[in-house]
Amino acid sequence: MHQRIILVAAAVALVVRVAFAWGYWNGKPLTHDEKEYLALAASVAEGRGFTYGNTHDMGTGQRFGRAPGYPAFLSLFQPASETHAAPRAIQLAQAVCLTLGVLMIAAITRAAAGDRAAVIAAWLAALYPPLIWIPAYVLSESLYLPLALGCTLLLTRERPGHVIAAGIVAGAAILVRPAMLLFVPLATLWLLRRKQTSLAAIFVLVAACTVLPWTIRNLRTYERFVLVASEGGVTFWTGNHPLARGEGDLAANPQLKAAEIDFRRTHAGLSSEALEPLYYRDALRMISERPGWWLVLLAKKAFYTVVPAGPSYTLHSTKYLLTTVVPYAMLAPLAIAGFIWIARHGRPPQFLYLLGASVVLTSLIFFPQERFRIPVTDPLVIIGAAAALGGTLRPRP
């Protein structure tokens, strides 16, 4: 019975995501990131490889080398070079990905807190507004969410076959969003702590082998080491600049955006790959010169990592703000109570907690933003809230 109700929730999840994408978010203008992803996907689909071409006007933004996984996924749907809105086929595929995410959230909750909590989690995830609207955008979070959650599910089995699969999925997730890189050492250390040395070695080796071919390709293409993508340098610079506010990217900070344009003018003629180490070097210089200021900035990042506020939220309409902040704010206190309940009576989803910790580290190293929160932190909040509302522990074997 519980499984049937969860499947109904998944069906509803698919319907509402497609309805939002096709019935409301239809023909809307693309953001800078969406244009870049579609430009790369069109190039791949047309056999020109991971190159941008000149089909989209990026304005003052720079075309950075991006992780290949998401553009490769988009290329399966043959996006046109002159796309000006999110293609419906892509929105449908991403709605399916997020529906799988709903089932994964339910599965993690069942293992942690029982069947009743799993049903509640499925319905919360199905109707949670940020997880409804994110598939309508051409953004990598829709693909990253099921990969990241799927990796944690596989690791909980702690068997060689499952760990090999987890390593492959972790590598694929890194190639979609390099932020997953921070999860790999955390999960490895946890396995070592449990004296699962062979499993830890398998996980790291398989994940590394999954990413390695792309790193070799980058070395040959750019004649310099680029592990996955060259966007890390500017992201680190953006999050650790004296003009940084502790939350949000360049779009939420016009002064910082102007400073970034000036930085590129100073180094005119260099590619994004050549600029990446310069961004890191300049940011580290600013941190070393003003350590007290940086510690205050770090505290701001920690605050905005868990509190849905900051400059990037105010860029949008009141309707958007309410649908993204209110659900999170309503569930977060319940989630804290639910995590306490799981610690006392359930089976804590340790690998999911480690995934959440990797998001915190990412936010502290770079900067927090809503898009970084949605694929991992919001499912964590949903799972915790479901445990608080109806956790019923299944009998222990």
pLDDT at residue 51 above 90?
no
Predicted pLDDT at 347: 93
Identify the residue whose tokens are 């340098």: 233
Phi-psi region of 395 (alpha: psi -120 to 50; beta: other; left: phi over 0): beta
The CA radius of gyration of the chain, in Å to the nearest whole number, is: 21
180 touches 358 (CB < 8 A): yes
Looking at per-residue confidence, does 62 or 121 come out higher?
121
Percent of the chain with pLDDT over 70: 95
Taking CA atoms, 281 is separated from 1, 247, 287, in Å, by 57, 21, 10
The tokens for 373 are: 């929160």
Cα separation, 110 vs 128, whole angstroms? 19
Residue 326: pLDDT band with limits 50, 70, 90: very high
pLDDT, tens digit (0-9, with 9 covering 90-100), for 174-225:
999 999 999 999 999 999 999 999 999 999 999 999 999 999 999 999 888 9
What does the domain layout of the chain look like in residue ranges? 2-390
d(CA 386, CA 397) in angstroms, rounded, equals 23
Name residues whose C-beta falls within 8 Å of residue 23's C-beta, 6 or more positions apart in sequence: none
Place of tokens 């699969």: 165
Model pLDDT, residue 169: 98
Query: pLDDT at position 147, please?
Result: 98
Residue 257's nearest CA partner among 241, 271, 278, 269 is 241
From first CA to last CA, the distance across the chain in angstroms is 21
pLDDT tens digit sequence for 14-29:
999 999 999 998 888 8
Cα separation of 154 and 62, whole Å?
37
Kindly state the average pLDDT of the residues 95-110: 98
Dihedrals phi, psi of 238, to nearest 5 degrees: -60, -40
Grade residue 273 by pLDDT with cuts at 50, 70 and 90: confident
Range with the poorest average pLDDT among 1-5, 130-134, 198-202, 256-260: 1-5
Query: How confident is the prediction for the chain on average, in pLDDT?
Result: 92
Tally of residues, the chain:
397
Report percent pLDDT > 90 for the chain.
Answer: 75
Is the whole-model pTM more than 0.75?
yes
> Per-residue pLDDT averaged across 305-318, rounded?
85
User: What stretches of the chain adopt beta strand conformation (E)?
Assistant: none
Q: Measured between alpha carbons, how far is 182 from 178 in angstroms, rounded to an integer?
A: 8
Residue 391 has pLDDT above 70, yes or no: no
Tell me how far apart the alpha carbons of residues 56 and 187 are, in angstroms, rounded to a whole number: 39
Please check the confidence at residue 91 and state whether its pLDDT lies above 80: yes
Question: What is the C-alpha separation between 314 and 312, in angstroms, rounded?
Answer: 6
Indicate the pLDDT class of residue 357, thresholds 50, 70 and 90: very high
Confidence band, pLDDT 50/70/90 cuts, at residue 60: very low
pLDDT bucket at 317, cuts 50 / 70 / 90: confident
**Taking 90 as the threshold, does the pLDDT of residue 58 lie above it?**
no
User: How high is the pLDDT of residue 393?
Assistant: 46
Count CB atoms within 10 A of the CB of residue 392: 16
